[in-house]
């Protein structure tokens, strides 16, 4: 049986750093790689800051934080990941970028190493086919923010072996997360349900049914959602929302998944949400202000 002790995370952004964070707290040694050391260092700083907040809220002790940070290190180049037991790819939601990463890292890994992708929508079977070990490939879709959210979607490709699946389940359990098993269909379960709702909220804005503030207030107070769908879209990233809707629209060939033109326009304008300072809300002032 596969025993995972050392994990390599490719991608040091919000999701990648969050995955490295929970892996280190789960007792795994972790190496983080990205396209530049500046990004890696930024990811490491985010992990330190988020763990410090966990200490402040009493969720972990400072001793646990320090021990976890000692288990995380930078990997400036992919060849530094040669001895890991599991690679978790957490790059941008673009199939070609992900396939390129796997084609580059596979020759550097030991034969028994497992591969996983944190994709939120792309076919696991297709990504696995771009590797030299599709039987040792699986989808592990963490939710954002990773240290807070309890769920991980596990998605098998057509070639994923039982041993890989069982090892992934044990890995997720050791992180203190709950696994939900999804079939390899576009966007899996959570985003298959969530993103069309967000897209419909954008259509509601586009058609003038309600303002940004009215739509978010209606869903917070009328459906008891913790945040409104447009606020949530900004949090996820409008480019990610659009990518997932495009995967659904193209993969399922159903017009109900057509991305709202207003979502497309915002992405074309570079208004990608919180990370860009502006989306359905403008975050550049003291408090967020609706942009429509």
Catalytic residue positions, numbered: 120, 141, 153, 191
Q: Please classify residue 205 by burial: count the beta carbons closer than 10 Å to its beta carbon, then call 0-12 exposed, 13-18 middle and 19+ buried.
A: buried
| Token pair recorded at residue 73 | 């290190």
Checking DSSP bridges between strand 281-282 and strand 289-290, what pairing results, if any?
Answer: antiparallel
Q: How many CB atoms lie within 10 A of CB 102?
A: 22
CA–CA distance, 116 with 105 (Å, rounded to integer): 12
Give the H or E element holding residue 100: helix 95-105
Q: How many CB atoms lie within 10 A of CB 185?
A: 15
CA–CA distance, 38 with 40 (Å, rounded to integer): 5
Strand segments (E) across 99-162: 114-117, 137-142, 151-156
| Token pair recorded at residue 31 | 């190496």
């Amino acid at each position: 049986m596969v025993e995972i002790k050392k994990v390599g995370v490719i991608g040091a952004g919000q999701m990648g750093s969050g995955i490295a964070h929970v892996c280190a707290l789960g007792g795994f040694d972790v190496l983080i790689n990205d396209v530049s050391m500046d990004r890696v260092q930024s990811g490491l700083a985010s992990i330190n800051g988020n763990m410090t907040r966990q200490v402040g809220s009493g969720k972990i002790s400072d001793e646990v934080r320090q021990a976890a940070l000692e288990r995380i290190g930078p990997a400036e180049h992919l060849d530094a990941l040669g001895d890991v037991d599991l690679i978790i790819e957490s790059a941008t939601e673009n199939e070609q970028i992900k396939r390129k990463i796997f084609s580059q890292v596979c020759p550097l890994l030991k034969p028994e190493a497992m591969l996983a992708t944190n994709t939120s929508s792309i076919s696991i079977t297709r990504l696995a086919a771009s590797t030299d070990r599709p039987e040792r490939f699986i989808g592990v879709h963490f939710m954002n923010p990773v240290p807070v959210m309890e769920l991980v979607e596990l998605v098998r490709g057509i070639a994923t072996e039982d041993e890989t699946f069982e090892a992934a389940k044990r890995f997720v359990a050791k992180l203190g997360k709950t696994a939900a098993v999804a079939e390899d269909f576009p966007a899996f379960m959570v985003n298959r349900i969530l993103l069309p709702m967000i897209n419909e909220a954008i259509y509601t804005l586009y058609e003038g049914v309600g303002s940004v503030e009215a739509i978010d207030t209606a869903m917070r107070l009328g459906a008891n959602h913790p945040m409104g769908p447009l606020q949530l879209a900004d949090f996820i990233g409008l480019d990610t929302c659009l990518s997932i809707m495009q995967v659904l629209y193209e993969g399922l060939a159903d017009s109900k998944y057509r991305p709202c033109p207003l979502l497309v326009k915002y992405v074309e304008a570079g208004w990608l949400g919180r990370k860009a300072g502006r989306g359905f809300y403008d975050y550049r002032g003291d408090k967020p202000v609706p942009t429509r």
